[in-house]
A and B are shown apart, each in its own frame.
Chain A
Amino acid sequence: EDQVTQSPEALRLQEGESSSLNCSYTVSGLRGLFWYRQDPGKGPEFLFTLYSAGEEKEKERLKATLTKKESFLHITAPKPEDSATYLCAVLRGNQFYFGTGTSLTVIP
């Protein structure tokens, strides 16, 4: 069965304390892996698409990387405004399969 698993479920960081979020997947016929940010009570907001192992994408304090089995979202020197739930999704066929997310809290 296709699965997308994210860890940890929740993460609390001090402002400036870098860390990584993990997304592991077991999906056949993967067409891409995606990271979204979701603020409370809002819809997911697109961050990155990764297509092949070894690929990296960066945006401000975020960097996403991809291997054959997992993806990491690295957060460098986070700020309180980075607090959100980060969702990983994989595209198989024309369907997106989302993980349960990592809830990130950055404490000033």
Chain B
Amino acid sequence: EPEVTQTPSHQVTQMGQEVILRCVPISNHLYFYWYRQILGQKVEFLVSFYNNEISEKSEIFDDQFSVERPDGSNFTLKIRSTKLEDSAMYFCASSDRLDSSGELFFGEGSRLTVL
């Protein structure tokens, strides 16, 4: 069964360092998302991406965040200068259509710990 894969599964970094989280969405999907979940809190929308550009972003997704689809398979989230409060689980998700079906396919997540 096709799945969304994310790497790394866990990354520990020092405050101020740059981090890149990688995702391989399901191959025929066109819509890509990043969500994050701080421990014990709700899953929060960060950004959606379609047709090689950001289609929507939340207020969390400030100038230190960026997304890229460098080739036909990878979808990356870069955090330029990490802060302690960026520690969270980051989930990538993809969908084959932008309607109200709601079936987002999530990856297993990348746990980011900022020290």
A residues within 8 Å of B by Cβ? Answer: 31-32, 34, 41-46, 49, 51, 87, 89, 91, 93-101
Binary interface encoding of chain B residues 88-115 relative to chain A, with 1 for a CB under 8 A from any of its CBs, else 0: 0001010000101111111111000000
Contact A95 B58 (CB under 8 A): yes
Contact B100 A32 (CB under 8 A): yes
Residues of A within 8 A of B108 (CB): 41-43
Residues of A within 8 A of B44 (CB): 98
Binary interface encoding of chain B residues 58-84 relative to chain A, with 1 for a CB under 8 A from any of its CBs, else 0: 100000000000000000000000000
**Alpha-carbon distance between A101 and B42 when the two chains are bound, in angstroms:** 7
| Main SS at interface, chain A | strand
Show 13 A/B contacts (Cβ-Cβ < 8 Å), sorted by A: A32-B100, A32-B102, A34-B102, A42-B109, A43-B4, A43-B91, A44-B104, A46-B104, A46-B105, A49-B100, A49-B102, A49-B103, A101-B42
Contact A96 B45 (CB under 8 A): yes
| Interface set, chain B 8-49, CB cutoff 8 A to A | 41-45, 48
Q: CB-nearest residue of chain A relative to B99?
A: A31
Residues of B within 8 A of A98 (CB): 42-44
Q: Does B52 contact A (CB under 8 A)?
A: no
